[in-house]
């Protein structure tokens, strides 16, 4: 039997537990999440448990990272199942604050990151990355772990968090772990639960587009052709394309050197569900 993970709602209480562990010379790992957990989140907890002495995870559906017409109200919530999953993967403490604990009345400070937060998700979801940066900084203050674990699934988010950690000199190491996928390629996401059976079948268009991008990139295809192919595949699956781009991996700027390490980024909508995915592309020789 796995010991049940303690659920802590009070920021001062989790901060004291983590600090005490650090003072005893233990390494603490932290996995921030919005709950409705799946094997992607579980892989982050497992990596943290393998590399750290104690693991804390947070479950907080952060209102400030949702736009006014987005899915905050219907975002799935499943604390009991989440608690079991995290305990089984070696998580000791689950920080599950309510909104007032993170944003007390009168709170008036937000963090705004430029650079990697500006294009793609930043352009399509105004205020989203400011909400992410603001909550992640507060979570890091309440859970002062040495290492924090994020998924490559949200590649742009990892760049924004890394930028903020560097710019604010926060004492935490950011670890990025690979995307966990369904057998047919669909990246696991809490939002996959919104998909109808028909939409779920068509949702493979995103990962299929990325697989084609990886193949064509390695074969030396021009970036514009790769982007066109991705767009066509996504469109053929009945997904409304928000973007399908190959850009510089760290800055997300257009590729000045078509052989440099890159990332393919895709986003699209199936009905009312919006999904994103990405694929890292290694530097290649002799591309046009
Ligand atoms: P979320 O609960 O969606 O905010 O995600 C919490 C963390 O889990 C983020 O760092 C995500 O990038 C990560 N994550 C989400 N989906 C996956 C996945 N399929 N594979 C790996 N990590 C993931």
Domains and CATH numbers, the chain: 6-177 (3.40.50.620), 190-279 (3.30.1300.10)
Please report the pLDDT score of residue 109 as a whole number.
97
Cβ of residue 154 lying under 6 Å from some atom of ligand 1: yes
Please report the pLDDT score of residue 208 as a whole number.
98
User: If you measure from the C-alpha of residue 104 to the centroid of ligand 1, how many angstroms do you get, rounded to a whole number?
Assistant: 26
Active-site amino acid positions? 41
For atom 11 of ligand 1, which residue has the closest CA?
151
Please report the pLDDT score of residue 117 as a whole number.
98
For atom 10 of ligand 1, which residue has the closest CA?
150
Cβ of residue 82 lying under 6 Å from some atom of ligand 1: no
Q: Is 146 exposed, middle or buried (0-12, 13-18, 19+ CB in 10 A)?
A: middle
For atom 18 of ligand 1, which residue has the closest CA?
40
Nearest atom within ligand 1 for CA of residue 34:
2
Per-residue pLDDT of the chain (288 residues; tens, 9 = 90+): 566 689 999 999 999 999 999 999 999 999 999 999 999 999 999 999 999 999 999 999 999 999 999 999 999 999 999 999 999 999 999 999 999 999 999 999 999 999 999 999 999 999 999 999 999 999 999 999 999 999 999 999 999 999 999 999 999 999 999 999 999 999 999 999 999 999 999 999 999 999 999 999 999 999 999 999 999 999 999 999 999 999 999 999 999 999 999 999 999 999 999 999 999 999 998 665
């Amino acid at each position: 039997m796995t010991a049940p993970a303690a659920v802590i709602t009070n920021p001062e209480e989790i901060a004291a537990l983590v600090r005490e562990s650090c003072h005893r010379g233990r390494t603490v790992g932290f996995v921030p999440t919005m709950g409705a957990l799946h094997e992607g989140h579980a892989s982050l907890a497992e990596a943290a448990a393998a590399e750290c002495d104690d693991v804390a995870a947070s479950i907080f559906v952060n209102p400030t990272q949702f736009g006014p017409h987005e899915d905050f109200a219907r975002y799935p919530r499943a604390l009991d199942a989440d608690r079991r999953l995290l305990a089984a993967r070696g998580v000791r403490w689950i920080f599950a604050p309510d909104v007032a604990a993170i944003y007390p009345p009168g709170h008036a400070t937000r963090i705004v990151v430029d650079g990697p937060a500006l294009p793609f998700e930043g352009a399509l979801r105004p205020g989203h990355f400011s909400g992410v940066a603001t909550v992640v900084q507060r979570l890091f203050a309440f859970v002062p772990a040495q290492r924090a674990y994020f998924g490559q699934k949200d590649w742009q988010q990892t760049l924004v968090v890394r930028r903020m950690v560097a710019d604010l000199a926060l004492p935490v190491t950011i670890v990025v772990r690979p995307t966990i996928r369904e057998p047919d390629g669909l990246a696991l996401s809490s939002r996959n639960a919104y998909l109808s059976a028909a939409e779920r079948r068509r949702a493979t268009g995103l990962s299929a587009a990325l697989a084609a991008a990886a193949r064509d990139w390695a074969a030396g295809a021009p970036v514009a052709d790769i982007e066109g192919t991705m767009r066509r595949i996504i469109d053929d699956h009945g997904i409304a394309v928000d973007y399908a781009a190959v850009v510089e991996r760290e800055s997300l700027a257009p590729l000045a050197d078509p052989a440099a390490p890159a990332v393919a980024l895709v986003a699209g909508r199936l009905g009312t569900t919006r999904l994103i995915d990405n694929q890292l592309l290694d530097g290649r020789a002799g591309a046009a």
